[in-house]
Chains A and B, each alone.
Chain A
Amino acid sequence: MSDLLTVTDLTVRLKMDSGMREVITGTSLSIAAGEAMGLVGESGSGKSMTAKAIARLLPDGAETLGSVVFDGVDVLALSGDELREHRAQVAVVFQDPRAHINPVRRIDDFMTESLRTLRNVPKGDARARAATALEEVGIDDPAKRLRQYPHELSGGMLQRVMIATALLSEPRLLLADECTTALDVTTQAEVMAILDDLRRDRGLSMLFITHDLELAGAVCDRTTVMYAGQVVETRAASLLHSDPLHPYSAALVDARPSIASTADRLRAIPGRPLSAFESPSGCRFAPRCSFAQDACREHDQVITELDGGFVRCERAIELRGKVREGAHV
Chain B
Amino acid sequence: MSIEILDPVAEVIDNAPANRRLPKLGFLGWLSVAVIAIALFFAIFGPMLAPYDPTLSNLSYSNVGPIAGHPLGFDDQGRDVLSRLMAGARTTIFGAAFVSLIAIFVGTTLALLTAWFGGKTDTFISAALDVLFAFPGILLAVVAAAVFGPSLLSAGLALSIAYSPYVARVLRGAALKERAMTYISALEVQGFGALRLTVRHLLPNISALIVAQGTILFGFAMVDLAAISFLGLGVQSPNADWGVMVSEGKTSLLQGYPLVSLSAVFCIVSVVAAVSFLGDRLESSSRGGNR
Contact = CB atoms under 8 A, between A and B. Distances in A.
A219 B3 CA distance: 9
A102 interface: yes
A104 B290 contact: yes
B3 A104 contact: no
A154 B204 contact: no
Interface stretch (A145-153, A231-239, A266-274): A145-153
B149 to A, nearest CB: 45
B290 A152 contact: no
Nearest to B289: A151
Contacts of A87: 189-190
Contacts of A104: 204-205, 207, 290
A118 B6 contact: no
A193 B1 contact: yes
Label chain A's interface by main secondary structure.
helix
B186 interface: yes
Contacts of A153: 13
B6 A140 contact: no
B68 interface: no
A103 B205 contact: yes
Interface string A139-179: 11000000011011110110000000000000000000000
A100 B196 contact: no
A141 B185 CA distance: 30
Nearest to A81: B191
Interface string B189-228: 1111000100011001101000000000000000000000
B276 to A, nearest CB: 24
Contacts of B191: 84, 118
A196 interface: yes
A190 B8 contact: yes
A317 interface: no
Interface in A83-141: 84, 87, 94, 96, 99-105, 113-114, 117-118, 138-140
A259 B3 CA distance: 20
Give the bracket for the number of chain B residues in contact with chain A: 20 to 34
Nearest to B193: A117
A181 interface: no
A187 interface: yes
Nearest to A156: B11
A57 interface: yes
A70 B290 CA distance: 40
A261 interface: no
Nearest to B14: A152
Contacts of B6: 186, 189-190
Interface string A64-84: 000000000000000000001
B53 to A, nearest CB: 50
Contacts of A96: 182
Contacts of A117: 192, 196
Given A118-B192, A151-B291, A194 B205 contact: no
Contact of A118 (B13, B190, B201): B190
Contacts of A193: 1, 3-5
A103 B3 contact: no
Contact of B201 (A84, A94, A105, A189): A105
Contact of B16 (A103, A152, A194): A152
A148 B16 contact: yes
Given A84-B191, A87-B190, A152 B4 contact: no
B3 A189 contact: yes
Contact of A99 (B8, B12, B183): B183
Contacts of A62: none
Contacts of A194: 5
Contacts of A219: 1, 3
A94 B6 CA distance: 23
Nearest to A189: B3
A196 B1 contact: yes
Interface string A181-202: 0000011011011101000000
A108 B200 CA distance: 14
A292 interface: no
Most buried by A among B16, B183, B205: B183
A102 B205 contact: yes
Nearest to A149: B290
B3 A196 contact: yes
Question: Which residue among B2, B5, B289 has the maximum number of chain A CB atoms within 10 Å of its CB?
Answer: B5
B181 interface: yes
B15 interface: yes
B9 interface: yes
Given A151-B291, A192-B3, A140 B201 contact: no
A218 interface: yes
A114 B190 contact: yes
12 contacts: A57-B189, A96-B182, A99-B181, A102-B187, A102-B204, A103-B290, A103-B291, A104-B204, A104-B207, A118-B190, A138-B8, A193-B4
- A-B complex: 10 closest residue pairs judged by Cβ atoms: A99-B182, A193-B3, A104-B204, A154-B11, A189-B3, A100-B183, A196-B1, A84-B191, A100-B186, A138-B8
